[in-house]
């Protein structure tokens, strides 16, 4: 399902969502005291094509365990609320806790939202003029446990419960016409609950969690929603996410203290069974092929490739050139290279935190159907 993963951006900023177990960047001396917890209460603003401009506030608490990898492994609590010019409201909270001598990570998250959204249909040839607006009312709770079996290698389990209903359908539109038909080919129009569990395997050799220069990240996961667990729809989602980071120089720039690098991502998602349309793989948004509205193209299978050239300009400022392509299909056999949708763009970066190496990013990107650039103001890199 689509989880609106929005961020707050201000002079100081934080993300409302966790992005997984970080890679080590250095350890404190054994037995030394960890730094005091960081506690921030922050306002902020952001912008994406899906939301327009928005604002909110949140609480962020970061606490490094004793003998942890400083700058990477940290217990964290995030609570925040945002509201957008499109009258979208999201309340989200998450807790990350390291246990078992900091080798295992427990993550808990909750979310509630009122989210006016758009549906264009299913498939890789949907049309802009077929857009239908609706409003989603949803809540979710997630739990994940990651165990470090070897340095940089994790196995884990995850479980999730999700409830959604949609309202304010276009009178006489596709969703409205199909709402009372038993043979409706599009699921998710009636209120539904999803309940499922899954497993994942991760290998992470990045030299830094937030702004890596070298290394790789590979994660394979599968999650199954079962009627036996209380789910109204029974289906399985499998995802493989791979990322590579390659430095272009062995010498750091005197102006920035960093090196230019290339970043690559290949993402594949496959869905089988009886998913609601909200749970189909979706292309677009701030992370998965900027330049396309999130959900503009959706189907059972997705393939996306992204690349960035990241160039440091000064100690805090940087520039980025971006290119990518993606496609969706009902079956992998229908994933034709000639039908992949391209995206290009450029942006600037501002590092507001030297400790956590977190960047504020401003991107302008173009897709196949966007003569005017899409504008993104958000926190942290897309991959």
CATH code at 275? 2.40.160.50
Which of 278, 255, 49, 262 has its CA nearest to residue 162? 278
Pick from 22-36, 128-142, 156-170, 207-221: least confident: 22-36
Query: Is 110 a domain residue?
Result: yes
Query: Is 2 a domain residue?
Result: no
**28-39 burial, b for 16+ CB within 10 Å, e for fewer?**
beeeeeeeeeee
> Residue 298: its pLDDT value, please?
96
More confident residue, 201 or 100: 201
Pairing of strands 38-48, 192-204: unpaired
Counting the structural domains of the chain, the total is: 1
Q: What are the tokens at 39?
A: 């506690």
Residue 207 DSSP code: S
Query: Is 200 a domain residue?
Result: yes
d(CA 162, CA 237): 15
> Residue 170: its pLDDT value, please?
87
Query: Is 1 a domain residue?
Result: no
More confident residue, 353 or 310: 310
> Containing domain of residue 109, as a range?
7-379
Indicate the helix (H) or strand (E) that contains 13.
none
Instruction: Place 60 in a pLDDT band, splitting at 50, 70 and 90.
Output: confident
> Residue 292: its pLDDT value, please?
94
Query: Mind giving me the DSSP string for 16-65?
Result: SS---PPPP---PPTTPPPPPPEEEEEEEEEEETTTEEEEEEEEEEEEPP
Which of 322, 229, 284, 210 has its CA nearest to residue 49? 284
How confident is the model over 90-100, as pLDDT tens digits?
999 999 999 98
Query: Is 136 a domain residue?
Result: yes
How confident is the model over 330-361, as pLDDT tens digits?
999 989 999 999 999 999 999 877 666 778 89
3-state helix, strand, coil in the chain (%, to 5): 5, 55, 40
Residue 13: what are its φ and ψ, rounded to 5°?
A: -140, 165
């Amino acid at each position: 399902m689509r989880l609106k993963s929005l961020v707050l951006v201000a002079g100081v900023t934080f993300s409302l969502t966790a992005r997984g177990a970080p890679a080590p960047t250095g350890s404190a001396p054994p037995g030394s005291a960890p730094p005091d917890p960081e506690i921030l209460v922050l306002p902020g603003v952001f912008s994406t094509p899906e939301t327009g401009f928005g604002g909110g506030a949140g609480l962020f608490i970061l606490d490094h365990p004793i003998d942890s990898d400083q700058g990477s492994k940290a217990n964290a609590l995030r609570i925040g609320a945002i509201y957008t010019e499109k009258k979208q409201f999201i309340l989200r909270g998450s807790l990350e806790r390291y246990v078992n001598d900091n080798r295992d990570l427990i993550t808990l998250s909750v979310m509630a939202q009122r989210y006016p959204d758009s549906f264009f249909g299913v498939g890789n040839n949907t049309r802009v003029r077929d857009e239908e607006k609706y409003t989603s009312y949803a809540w979710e709770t997630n739990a994940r446990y990651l165990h470090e079996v070897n340095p940089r290698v994790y196995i884990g389990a995850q479980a999730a419960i999700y409830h959604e209903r949609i309202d304010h359908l276009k009178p006489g539109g596709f969703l409205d016409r199909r709402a009372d038909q038993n043979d409706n080919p599009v699921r998710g129009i009636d209120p539904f609950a999803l309940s499922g569990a899954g497993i994942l395997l991760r290998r992470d050799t990045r030299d830094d969690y937030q702004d890596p220069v070298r290394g790789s990240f590979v994660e394979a996961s599968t999650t199954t929603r079962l009627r036996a667990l209380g789910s109204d729809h029974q289906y399985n989602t499998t995802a493989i996410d791979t990322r590579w980071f390659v430095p272009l120089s062995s010498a750091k720039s005197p102006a920035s203290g960093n090196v230019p690098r290339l970043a690559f991502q290949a993402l594949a998602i496959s869905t089988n069974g009886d998913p609601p349309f909200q749970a189909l793989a979706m292309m677009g948004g701030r992370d998965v092929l900027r330049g396309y509205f999130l959900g503009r193209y959706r189907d059972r299978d997705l393939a996306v490739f992204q690349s960035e050239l990241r160039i440091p300009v000064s100690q805090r400022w940087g520039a980025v050139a971006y290119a990518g392509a993606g496609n969706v299909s009902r079956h992998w056999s229908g994933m034709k290279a000639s039908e992949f949708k391209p995206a290009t763009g450029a942006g600037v970066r501002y590092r507001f935190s030297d400790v956590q190496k977190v960047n504020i990013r401003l991107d302008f990107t173009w897709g196949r159907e966007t003569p005017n650039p899409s504008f993104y103001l958000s926190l942290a890199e897309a991959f």
